[in-house]
Structure 1
Amino acid sequence: MSAIEKLQANSAETSGFSVHSFAANQRLQVVTLSEQVLNRFETETRQWGVQALEYKPFLRFAIADKLDQLCSGELGECLNRIMRNRDQAGFLLQYEGQAEDDQTELNVKLSTAVSHLIGMPNFDSMYGKYYARFTVKNEDNSDSYLRQAHRRMELHNDGTYVDERTDFVLMMKMEEQNMEGGDSLLLHIDDWQDLDKFYNHPLAKQDIVWGSPPSKKVDYKLEHPVFFEEDSNGKPHMLFIDQFAEPQNMRQGLYLYEMGESLEAEENCFNVRVPVGSMLVVQNHCWLHGRDKFVPHPGLSRELLRQRGHFTKA
């Protein structure tokens, strides 16, 4: 029995959390914190407000350690094992006993603890902090698809246009009202049936120019290929987003166009409904993510918290 299977067999009463595979795709793991752990985490971190976490970066590691201690020192090891196992490399973290009142403070703390157990978030230029919070409304006139509710956000990797390594992406549902649809979309690149076609293409390792719109507040452009490295087993890592690629010739343009069309037609893409207070965390270079469109409603509102960062060593 593997270590993950042993954890799956243990009850949440022993370690404070349980692990099982997501029904629609066995790669994605579902980690559920017990209500007792959540309540103790809220009580024992009450002295650290969100402002303190923003002003004192070392407190973010202290709060991560606190959560790990409440889970018998096993949660961090479990999450890191999942994230570094390419065959999984992603989890949906949720908790029991979700309260109906405003849990904003708790959710920021919990997402901070989880991100710092697996690595360290990068500075988010769009929001000006180590995390970003943004809302999707029924109507929007922004300069990217991020806040546009009534269209599908195509599959992509994050971090294509920044000069910081983006090993992981954390997306937490903070609040929602009048929401129907809008599920997260996931595709592991090893399940992409056209991977070999595009990975073995002559342009696979050719630099592409990547930029971003003004709302991202990044005033430079980068050049890197879509398939920018291989992992320790020789399998490709990927950095692609259709919105921010700037092809410089017909060959590049058609390569990227055909790639986008293939990804959107991939039948192995699957939906994940993320409940309020839950977070989806994926290894950014081997999972592509997107978002399904919402059903229009004049009162539609959904707030998401995002952290994007890199793995660290002790």
Structure 2
Amino acid sequence: MSALAKQTITEQEFQGFAVTDFPASKRLKVVTLDEATIRAFNDAVSEWTVQGIEYKPFLRFEVADRLDAITNYTLGKFLNATVRDRATGAFLLNYQGSPNVEEGDARTEFEVKLSTAVSHIIGLSNHDAMYGQYYARFTVRNVDDSDSYLRKAHRRMELHNDGTYVNERTDYVLMQKLKEENMQGGDSLMLHLDDWAELDKFYKHPLAKKDIVWGAPKSKNVESKVEHPVFFEEDADGKPLMLYIDQFAEPSNKAEGKYLYEMGESLEADANFLSVPMPVGSMMVMHNHFWLHGRDKFVPHPDLCRELLRQRGHFTE
């Protein structure tokens, strides 16, 4: 990030929100919108339904602008600087009080609008083929018969990057908790690339820059396959950017398989990960190539239910 951007962020006065560090790591910023901001945002976007925002893509940017305007455009400056700066690259966003809407479908509509505003302050969400919209909603239950670990409640979902099997660039990931019932555990797991103890071992490996095939199970509704290396690019300072997930890699020989296996074992054994609880309504937003993310396992309960919303996309100016 440029010196000017750093100066702007450190000297500005935030309006309508506060920022703290996550207790376990200064890399992760905790952004809390105050109740007045949330209520003003709800009033500002009440004329549109979520269906209208789905049908008219330009409304997504108007929703974003109205949230940013309420904070005198200080929120957008901070969120963009935070998510694009390699030293941080992630924020947990929540809010105080209530948006003054009824629980149930109306509250869910509000949450979708809020996540839409945040994602379109920093970029443009890609089409999510799994759900058929610019976002995806999915539920984790106690029993599941899906074809990936996304909905498996009783195992740890390993650290990974999103967007490995699609052609669109996936610069950021947003995960929002819409509701939960009878839930213990399931905290978000995160590991910053620069905190991974064995990064150099795998980044300097002969296969680090070799194309690997990546596909997806049928539930993702993406039939094509793509090829790219795990370390597909470097940032402006020459540091590696990563694009990896253990479930969807399709190694073509034993050497590739061994490289991927050992990488996965190293990531899961690394002690530098964060475990982050998320209350209902909160959202985690991270740079997809600085951070790997996953999910801890849940405590079994016959009526366990958690609904999540996901948006992933690319940065815009």
Pairwise same-fold verdict (TM > 0.5): yes
* Identical counterparts, % of pairs: 64
- Identify the range of structure 1 (266-275 vs 100-109) with the bigger mean alpha-carbon deviation: 100-109
Distance 2:73 2:248 in 1: 41
Distance 2:129 2:288 in 1: 18
How much has 1:43 moved relative to structure 2? 1.3
Distance 2:73 2:208 in 1: 42
| Amino acid across the alignment from 1:110 | L
* Deviation per residue, 1:179-198 (Å, 9 max, x gap): 10000000000000000000
Q: Is the 8 A contact 2:9 2:77 kept in 1?
A: no
| Amino acid across the alignment from 2:281 | G
* Deviation per residue, 1:193-230 (Å, 9 max, x gap): 00000000000000101000000000111110000000
Moved >2 Å (runs of 4+): 1-7, 98-102
What is the SS of the residue equivalent to 2:232? strand
Distance 1:212 1:294 in 2: 24
Distance 2:7 2:231 in 1: 31
Distance 1:234 1:112 in 2: 32
What corresponds to 2:152 in structure 1?
148
Distance 2:30 2:90 in 1: 9
What is the SS of the residue equivalent to 1:26? strand
Q: Does 1:244 align with 2:244?
A: no
List alignment gaps of at least 5 residues for structure 2: 1-5
Q: Does 1:233 align with 2:237?
A: yes
What corresponds to 2:31 in structure 1?
31
What is the SS of the residue equivalent to 1:169? strand
| Amino acid across the alignment from 2:312 | R
How much has 1:4 moved relative to structure 2? 3.9
Q: 1:218 aligns with which of 222, 227, 235?
A: 222
What corresponds to 1:122 in structure 2?
126
Q: Does 1:45 align with 2:45?
A: yes
What is the SS of the residue equivalent to 1:68? helix
What is the SS of the residue equivalent to 2:237? coil
Q: Does 1:287 align with 2:291?
A: yes
* Deviation per residue, 1:118-161 (Å, 9 max, x gap): 00000000000000000000000100000000000000000000
| Amino acid across the alignment from 1:268 | N
Q: Is the 8 A contact 2:38 2:98 kept in 1?
A: no
List alignment gaps of at least 5 residues for structure 1: none
Distance 2:241 2:168 in 1: 15
What corresponds to 2:275 in structure 1?
271
How much has 1:270 moved relative to structure 2? 1.2
| Amino acid across the alignment from 1:101 | E
Distance 1:297 1:4 in 2: 44
What corresponds to 2:164 in structure 1?
160
Q: Is the 8 A contact 1:210 1:221 kept in 2?
A: yes
TM-score, normalisation: structure 1: 0.96
Distance 1:299 1:36 in 2: 35
What is the SS of the residue equivalent to 1:227? coil
Distance 2:52 2:113 in 1: 11
Distance 2:209 2:72 in 1: 44
How much has 1:6 moved relative to structure 2? 4.0
Measured on the aligned residues, the alpha-carbon RMSD in Å equals: 1.2
What corresponds to 2:187 in structure 1?
183
Distance 1:209 1:85 in 2: 29
What is the SS of the residue equivalent to 2:209? coil
Q: How many pairs does the alignment contain?
A: 308
Distance 1:122 1:27 in 2: 26
Q: Is the 8 A contact 2:39 2:98 kept in 1?
A: no
- Identify the range of structure 1 (90-99 vs 229-238) with the bigger mean alpha-carbon deviation: 90-99
